[in-house]
A and B are shown apart, each in its own frame.
Chain A
């Protein structure tokens, strides 16, 4: 590239105009993305920035909003609930998702069907799915009726509007984000490695422990990261099916915006964003995750 940029001796008297004209082609990619870039800048990035600025300059320039968070009991509790829910949901997705990813990769003729079943909820809106869980988990919902019919309980138990309900619904919604990166990593394992392990004396379980699991860790890391960061920002589902005391950060933000408490909402948003970015940045340095990023870019 650099030798093209250097002006030729003839071009020197013309100043910088000539190389500029010669190199307009280099800017074609930029021109192609410019419309979307401007759209996003004006309608998304600037408002977000303006919102975040309110945590610093409302009513005048100050760090007091951030300082106040350290003594804010409501914030501490909300932050803890959000983190706790995200960790539980991520672990749930991992435990339930890994075997499915394994099955998806192992299945030959069934694979397209399994993939559709995994993706079907993916194409339905979160709102609709949350409503569905309200129906299923309600007092006279399918779950309660089923448990009564099986004789496991005598009368309906409270599932809807509990922490458990939030976790069940969030795991359901976030599962594809865990399954797909793991399945992707598993699919990239050379099948001859599995044969080699078996031929060298490893039982199926030993092959899984020593070959399949370590080689799928990049997918596990990518899926865990994705699920956890998405879970941190969940709003609709905990608001609809969660317990009255299970207030997550995004619910608190919405509440504060409703009360026109902009500075506080902005401060909370900044903290949530910073947390998510910090986790992503830290995770990049974990072994295997960097590769997962590169793989998903391809």
Chain B
């Protein structure tokens, strides 16, 4: 499964935009994301990849999720953790 393409599609759907407009560098907030959009995106990713993505809205680190690339990184980490050692 292509992680990059899947995350782009999820973000595009959340923004009601075409996937071709979404790149790794796309800034979420500037594109119109609010805190609930982030939560819904994480949930969509969890559903799509059947993983748990540890994001806590009380953790100041959640603010470091600024771009589509940041979310892709988060998914890659979560997928790595799922793989057997």
The reply to whether chain A is a binding partner of chain B is no
